[in-house]
Chains A and B, each alone.
Chain A
Amino acid sequence: MGVTKEQVESSLTSNLKPLHLEVTDISGGCGASFSVEIVSEQFEGKRLLERHRLVNAALQEEMKQIHALSIKIAMTPEQWKQQQESAETKSEA
């Protein structure tokens, strides 16, 4: 039993059709813990709380066994693009 990173990735992929997805296993020995970076069109026009609710809902089954879930990034494709561009400008400078 237990939840794998692959399961988390597959549930998020099928529910939220992300443009970018990064799931990291951050369990430090105290059970399944993951951090998530996700970019999806479905976040368009939604506040952060509603975006996180969508992620939680997509992982409804897994959440029963997940000890901690940290949603680091929940952006729209537009916000993601802007962030990538500003990061590039910084590294060039």
Chain B
Amino acid sequence: FRCFASVLTPQLKSTLDTVVNSHKVVLFMKGTKDFPQCGFSNTVVQILRSFNVPFETIDILENELLRQGLKEYSSWPTFPQLYIEGEFFGGCDITVEAYKSGELQELLEKAMCT
């Protein structure tokens, strides 16, 4: 049903599998955690900082192929994209909701203990 060519090659998919599993918390964002380039990305960085958990950020503005491939990989059209323990968790709105409800804290605590 897609009218554009897929950029998510098997090679890119296996690279992304490795990247999202390389750290417990991985955030694909616009900019870096020290210099976020978008308010939505910044919001998620600040939330993760508040928990004092280690997290890795990857700047999708640096690599157009990565940016397009990730949209297919997660079936999610926008950034930031948060991965916890190798699994796609959500974008900015979902992260904010989960932060407010306590669900994110629970999930991160669980992730840090495993």
Q: A: which residues have CB within 8 A of B?
A: 48-49, 52-53, 56, 60, 63, 68-72
Q: Which of B69-93 contact A (CB under 8 A)?
A: 75-78, 88-93
State the CA gap A56–B93 with chains docked (Å): 13
Q: B: which residues have CB within 8 A of A?
A: 40, 75-78, 88-94, 97-98
Q: Is the CB of B90 within 8 A of A71?
A: no
Q: Is the CB of B76 within 8 A of A68?
A: no
Smallest CB-CB separation from B90: which chain A residue? A49
What chain A residues lie within 8 Å of B40 (beta carbons)?
68, 70
Interface of B is mostly: mixed
Q: Is the CB of B90 within 8 A of A56?
A: no
Q: Lowest 8 CB-CB distances: which A-B pairs, in order?
A: A63-B77, A71-B93, A49-B90, A56-B77, A48-B94, A70-B93, A49-B94, A48-B97
State the CA gap A60–B89 with chains docked (Å): 20
Smallest CB-CB separation from A52: which chain B residue? B94
Smallest CB-CB separation from B1: which chain A residue? A60
Interface of A is mostly: helix
What chain B residues lie within 8 Å of A52 (beta carbons)?
90-91, 93-94
A-B contact pairs, 27 of them (CB 8 A): A48-B90, A48-B94, A48-B97, A49-B88, A49-B89, A49-B90, A49-B94, A52-B90, A52-B91, A52-B93, A52-B94, A53-B75, A53-B76, A56-B76, A56-B77, A56-B78, A60-B77, A63-B77, A63-B78, A68-B40, A68-B78, A69-B77, A69-B78, A70-B92, A70-B93, A71-B93, A72-B93
What chain B residues lie within 8 Å of A72 (beta carbons)?
93
A76 to chain B, nearest CB (A): 15
What chain A residues lie within 8 Å of B90 (beta carbons)?
48-49, 52
What chain B residues lie within 8 Å of A69 (beta carbons)?
77-78
What chain A residues lie within 8 Å of B78 (beta carbons)?
56, 63, 68-69
Extra contacts besides A52-B90, A68-B78, A69-B78 (16): CB < 8 Å: A48-B90, A48-B94, A48-B97, A49-B90, A49-B94, A52-B91, A52-B94, A53-B75, A53-B76, A56-B76, A63-B78, A68-B40, A69-B77, A70-B92, A71-B93, A72-B93
